[in-house]
């Protein structure tokens, strides 16, 4: 995975559909694709660590949530309303407001849950952004 610098760029458009998403390079080996697919077939949860790995599996997953060996660039933009195909849970940082990352988190957890989590994090003085505290988002 190569995290793109655009990850940290805020969305400035009033209509998020007009936002030009940055690209990130990824590679999923055949071995790792099989591990992910085995977990899905056996009813286990797929837990991504970080938004880049989330974008990767969602970019290559088919409609059944299965992934294949692949390498390339992804510019997938995940925002509320997106239907996840492969990812079940996510471990990620507390992200900047107005970023594509907070939109991805909201797509998975729901806006109200994210607001509650962020309010709690502020009250408890959690550290934010790339070198801060993390959260586990699950169903």
What domains does the chain contain, in order, with CATH numbers? 22-137 (3.40.1780.10)
- Residues 55-66: tens digit of each pLDDT: 999 999 999 999
Q: Is residue 139 pLDDT above 80, yes or no? A: no
pLDDT digits (tens, 9 = 90+) for 59-118: 999 999 999 999 999 999 999 999 999 999 999 999 888 888 999 999 999 999 999 999
The answer to whether 42 and 129 are in contact (CB under 8 A) is: no
Express each pLDDT in 20-37 by its tens digit: 888 889 999 999 999 999
E-state strands within 1-139: 24-28, 47-49, 70-74, 89-93, 134-137
- Position 105 scores a pLDDT of 96
Continuous segment of H or E residues that includes residue 33: helix 30-41
């Amino acid at each position: 995975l190569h995290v793109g610098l655009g990850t940290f760029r805020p969305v400035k458009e009033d209509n998020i559909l007009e936002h030009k998403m940055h690209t990130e390079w990824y590679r999923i080996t055949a071995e790792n694709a099989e591990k992910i697919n085995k977990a899905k077939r056996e009813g286990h949860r797929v837990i991504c660590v970080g938004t880049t790995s989330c974008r990767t599996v969602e970019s290559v997953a088919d409609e059944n949530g299965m992934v294949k060996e692949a390498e390339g660039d992804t510019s997938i933009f995940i925002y509320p309303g997106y239907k996840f195909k492969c990812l079940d849970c996510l471990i990620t940082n507390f992200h900047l407001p107005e970023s594509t990352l907070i939109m991805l988190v909201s797509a998975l957890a729901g806006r109200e849950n994210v607001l509650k989590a962020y309010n709690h994090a502020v009250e408890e003085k959690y550290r934010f952004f790339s070198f801060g505290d993390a959260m586990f988002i699950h169903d």
